[in-house]
Each structure stands twice: as structure tokens, then as C-alpha cells.
Amino acid sequence: LSTFTPTAMKAPFLEQFADASWEQRWNPSAKTSGDDGHEEMNYVGRWNVEEPTVYKGMEGDAGLVLKDDARRHAISSAFKKSFDNKDGTLVLQYEVKMQKGLECGGAYLKLLTVSPEGIAAKEFSGDTPYTIMFGPDKCGATNKIHFIFRHLNPITKKYEEKHLTSPPTAKISKLSTLYTLIVKPDQTFDIKVNNKSVKKGSLLEDFTPSVNPSKEIDDPSDKKPETWVDEAEIDDPTATKPDDWDEDAPEEIEDAEAVKPEGWQDDEPQTVADPEATKPADWDDEEDGTWLAPTIQNPKCSVGCGPWKRPMIKNPAYKGPWSAPKIDNPAYKGEWSPAKIPNPDYYEDLTPANFEPMSGIGFELWTMQGDILFDNILLTHDESQAQELSKDWQVKFKAEEAQDNAANAAASDEAKDKFKDTYVSSFLENPLGYVKQEVGRFIQLVQVDPVYAVKELPQIAGGLIAALVTLLALLGSLVGVLGAGAPAVKKAGKKAETKAVTLKEKVASEV
């Protein structure tokens, strides 16, 4: 592995967690809440700076690690000088390494808004004003990269959160993932993941609610007149039902031209007793009941048997219920909509990229999976600095990727060996006992989580489905074999036993 060397780059904010002085720059929140004198810490999750424990990409390269599962974490760092993006380019970049993966939680950061009081690090919380929120967030089916900025409404003097309308999907990985946000003075933005653009757009067009409100709004006092006609068409009042229109005529009638096929046997049954069947020698009428020969298709019914009926055809005289045709409504006035009036809250801001000045950076997160590592956090006006800093990420990522590929290959081989050693050998030793054990285990898992049960024991799930299909097929033919049920069962048992032995021998030969 390569050895980490801190960069000599100078930027408005750059954090590589290269030495122990990080504790002087980063302060965990001590925010509390409660009443009646019983206050509790809001953020009990621990933070530490350490090297990765999963797929280390460089020697000596440490990062800020969110340590605990299912805990709220908050930590912040103040800038030496506030960051003002007026008429400039904003470049925000950092690395995220989800060492335990991520099922539910966030890994985004916030650029905190300048305030007269400065950053009260010990009071940092979700209520602390921020200017930009950026980064991955996932829980269940929701998986996205946040880009939210707070914008001051000059009319109401209130801040509004503007959310990216169609955010890109976050990359959930145990490898170091590089997230980059670039906002330019022309009000365009570019979101990159691992140096590849995943979303481009405009601050003026791609956020909800939009930066600039509509010039006009619906008049809230305007009401639709009671005489307003919304129906575009009406029944023709001059139309009458034709005299020959028969509403009672059936939709289908018998085909009068059809004739009974030659050879059709009206009085023959569909099935008859098999004349070649004989009662088994070991059949005991007292134990097994009266023996009945199995039934077969009646050979006389090759053309057809039973009462013959003419087939049904569509009735050419059928017209159905009569209704008057539609005509344009002469009183129709169109779709009603309220009148427009000037929007009293209208304003126009053509430069929302002139964000509110920023005084610091913070992570305020809740996550079910801990050990999320953050590193190489950069805030600058210079895109080339982000590109330069990403060169170390590329070296690190390639080393991590090689380890991941090797681990996946080893895991695949191990899984194959485990299956051969555990499942195949168990089946060969006691096929019936193995099946009973696995079916019982499957039933227990289904009661807890059906989806997990199918994923964990797909062979049992597939077997049960196949058994169900077979059962339905057997039920479908039960009427035909009911008379010779007992002999059929005995014969089926012999066949099943033979198949089981054959399967066992086949599996043994393949192993």
C-alpha cells in the first residue's frame, strides 16, 4: 500500500485529519433536551479519528469516524474565515467510506450559516441554521444524494429550503466514495460521484419550491358562478330511438346452421371402467374396501359423447340499450379557473448562487450502521484543487477495490465449499431427515420474515412451490384415479423411493 502524505494545498477549508490537533478543530455537540430538570444528551454517538478497519487503501491515512450503530451523532468545525460565494464558484468535496454498508441513515454534511453569535459548537443540532446540505442519505427504498440550500425570501424575510427536485442515487459502498458539488456563477450546478457527473442542472429551474415565485397567482376571492356550465357535450334532445331498435334482443344466439357431428354418441358416458384392470392379488376387501377398477376415457367418445347442443354465436340483431348521441353543448363556457392577480410576495433573484455566507461545517446524523468514515473535506472556489486532491483518492480506491474483489472471490469459493461440506453431505447421510430439518427451519423463518426466508433457503422455497404445483396437478386428476386409489398410492410410493435413490447416487457422483 502507498503511504499517506498530507497535501501542502491551501484552501478556505481543507481537513485531512492528519494529526492529533483535529480535536482542537472539531467539537462534538453537547446539546441536551428535557424538562423538570431531567435533561438528556441529544447526541450520544461517539466520534474518533482512526484508520479504516475495512479495506485500508493507504498506510497512515486516518479519517473522522462516526462510531456507533443506531445513535444520533453531531460534530462541527468552525472556519478560520467565513466563506462568501458572491459572484464566485463553490466547490465542496469529501470522501465517505461506509465500512458496515448502509441500510438506514445519512452521511451528508452541512455548511453552517454565518450568525452574529458564531458557531455554538456545544449547542450544534438539527436546528442550527445551515446554508447548504449535501451528501448521501438512504433508508429502505429511499436512496439519494441531498442538495438543499436555504434561501432568504426578501419579502417575508424568512428562509426557505430549496430541495433538488430529482436527486441522483447515492453510491452505498464499503470503498471510499468521492462526492463533489460544484456551483458556478451562471447558477448551474454539477454533482459528481467518484469524479463522474451524475446530475447537472440550474438553481433557477431544478429546485422545489422554485427560487422565484410566480408573478401572478389565482385570486383567492374569485368564485365560480353558479350559472357556469362545465359540460362540453350533452345528449341530443332531438334524437329518438328508432322503431326497429330491440333492446331485449340477446347478445348471443344458437348457431342455427350447426349440425351434430357424425358419430356423436348421445347416450355414452365420458369415462368407463378399464376392462384390462384386475384386482391386485394382495387386495384385502376387509382392510382395503371394495375394489373398483380405474376409469379411462371412453373409446367410443372420439367424436363426442353426451347430450349435443348447438354452439352459441353473436346475435346479428343485437344492439343493446339505446342512448341518445352526444352533441356540442351550446351553453358550454369552458373549464373555469379563477382570475389571476399580481403576486404580492413576488420577487426575482437571478443569482441564488450568491449563497448566504458560511462560517463552518457540521455533521448532524442518525444512522443504524456505524463506522462511517469521512475524509479529505474540501471547500474552495477553485475546481482544480478538487481535481488535484482527488488523485490521492484514485490511488486509495484502486487498492480498496483490489481487496474487495479478492474478498468476494474468496467468499464465493468458501460458500461453494460450505455447501458441499454441509448441505450435500447432510443430504447424503440422511435425505429424509435433512429435508425435514430444512423445511422446519424455513417455516420458522417465514413466520419472522418471509422475504429473508426465501433468500436464506431458496432451494426449500423452490421445492415447496414445486410440491404445491404437483399437488394441484394430482387433485386435477383425482376423479379419474379415485377408483384405484390404494394401488396407485402403493405404486407411487415405489416410484418415489426409486427416484430418491437415483437422486442420491447422482449427487454423490457429482460431488
pLDDT at 472: 73
Q: Taken in order 352, 353, 357, 361, is the CA torsion positive or negative? A: positive
Does the pLDDT value for residue 359 go beyond 90? yes
Look at residue 385 and give its three-state secondary structure.
helix
pLDDT at 443: 82
Give CA–CA dist 244/241, Å, rounded.
8
Here the cell at position 34 is 428535557
Domains and CATH numbers, the chain: 12-213+351-403 (2.60.120.200), 223-248+318-342 (2.10.250.10), 416-510 (no CATH)
Share of the chain above pLDDT 90, in %: 73
Give CA–CA dist 361/112, Å, rounded.
6
Does the pLDDT value for residue 511 go beyond 50? no
How do residues 139-185 score in pLDDT, each as one tens digit?
989 999 999 999 999 998 999 999 999 999 999 999 999 999 999 99
User: What global pTM score does this model have?
Assistant: 0.65
Does the pLDDT value for residue 457 go beyond 60? yes
Between 437 and 314, the more confident residue is 314
DSSP class of residue 279 equals: -
In angstroms, how far is the first alpha carbon of the chain from the final one? 40
- Helix, strand counts (H, E) of the chain: 9, 29
Q: State the helix-helix crossing angle for 485-510 and 431-448, rounded to 10 degrees.
A: 90
How do residues 88-102 score in pLDDT, each as one tens digit?
999 999 999 999 999
Share of the chain above pLDDT 70, in %: 86
How do residues 377-435 score in pLDDT, each as one tens digit?
999 999 999 999 999 999 999 999 999 999 988 876 666 666 556 556 666 777 777 77
Per-residue confidence at 465, pLDDT binned at 50, 70, 90?
A: confident
CB of 253 closer than 8 Å to CB of 312: yes
Per-residue confidence at 263, pLDDT binned at 50, 70, 90?
A: very high
Give CA–CA dist 50/55, Å, rounded.
13
Q: Taken in order 181, 30, 143, 113, is the CA torsion positive or negative? A: negative
